[in-house]
Homo-oligomer: A and B are copies of this chain.
Amino acid sequence: MTSVVYERVALIGLGLIASSMFWAMKRSGLAGEVTGFARSVETRDTARRIGLCDRVSDTVVEAVQDADLVVLCVPVGVMGQVAAEIAPHLKPGATVSDVGSVKAGVIEAVQPHLPAGVHFVPAHPIAGTEHSGPESGFAELYDNRWCLLVPVEGTDPAATERLRALWEGMGANVDEMEADHHDLVLAVTSHAPHLIAYTMVGVADDLRRVTDSEVIKYSAAGFRDFTRIAASDPTMWRDVFLTNKEATLEILGRFTEELFALQRAIRTGDGEHLHDYFTRTRAIRRGIIEAGQDTAAPNFGREKS
């Protein structure tokens, strides 16, 4: 059995990630009381209606009062602003964390605002769905997914260990990583793939006006997988790209280089180059399935429609 890790937790921002954290903490009794705050009245009303958080506060200041752990679950572009607002009201000895998909930019934006005696342990749970908002969360989101902790220089190791215990209690595997390395790895596994999916779906949308609904009707040929990724929250993703600019552009540069090489192989009829390339990429899928990070069932084991 797990036991209470933090007496009081405050979740700032009540979207998919925060709501899943709430249900996961409740599932295992990891927190005494969980308070929540969201900027929009509508989100706060929804949270109250569905029982998301033990107490929903109408101000961010009230939400963080006496909290032992404050988790910033807002788009990375507004993390700094929220940190500035809450800083004077943090309990001495409290831990501040976040769940942003970019780490160097968030650290730069948040850390200067935090008073001495408050521990800052940035985090990034590698989990999500294409849905967003307070009603999209569920307790199992983090089960067997990775959560990366990116402690800043001078962080008390005890604060990091306590946050690790929380994430492990919510079902995640926990690793520590340095911020710049995190941002490069995520540019590969997440940020570049998202931009590419958004782009391809945008191209299809332009063509849809020509071909009516054919693109949608025949999407099962592969395209529908891209549309799931490209249905992710626009504000969150705008901020990710603007905040992890350098690493994303570097990976996109490599992507374009490879794409041009494959396009040339198609144009010149170099079947061997294509076949070799496609054979190599197959092995990666096997690695992901063996690592327990995806299902081996055909088509992700989609429900039959």
Contact = CB atoms under 8 A, between A and B. Distances in A.
Contact of A269 (B188, B228, B242, B279): B242
A46 interface: no
A214 interface: yes
A2 interface: no
A297 interface: yes
Given A238-B274, A254-B203, A302-B301, A281 B198 contact: yes
Interface string A224-248: 1111111110110111011001001
Given A126-B221, A131-B298, A216-B287, A305 B293 contact: yes
A166 B201 CA distance: 33
A57 interface: no
A218 B294 CA distance: 11
A177 B215 CA distance: 14
A81 interface: no
Copies in the complex: 2
A241 B282 CA distance: 17
A1 interface: no
A116 interface: no
Nearest to A225: B225
Given A249-B267, A301-B301, A305-B294, A194 B215 contact: no
A83 interface: no
A144 interface: yes
Given A188-B215, A220-B145, A245-B267, A200 B204 contact: no
A252 interface: yes
A249 to B, nearest CB: 6
A184 to B, nearest CB: 8
A216 B275 contact: no
Contact of A294 (B202, B237, B280, B302): B302
Contacts of A207: 188, 251, 254
A301 B303 contact: yes
B293 A258 contact: no
Nearest to A204: B188
A61 interface: no
A205 B288 CA distance: 12
B300 A228 contact: yes
A49 interface: no
20 contacts: A146-B218, A189-B215, A198-B262, A198-B278, A198-B281, A200-B255, A201-B281, A201-B284, A201-B285, A205-B280, A225-B229, A228-B300, A230-B285, A231-B281, A231-B282, A234-B274, A238-B271, A256-B256, A300-B300, A300-B302
Given A227-B288, A249-B266, 12 more contacts: A190-B222, A199-B259, A201-B285, A220-B293, A227-B281, A227-B294, A237-B278, A238-B278, A242-B271, A294-B305, A297-B303, A300-B300
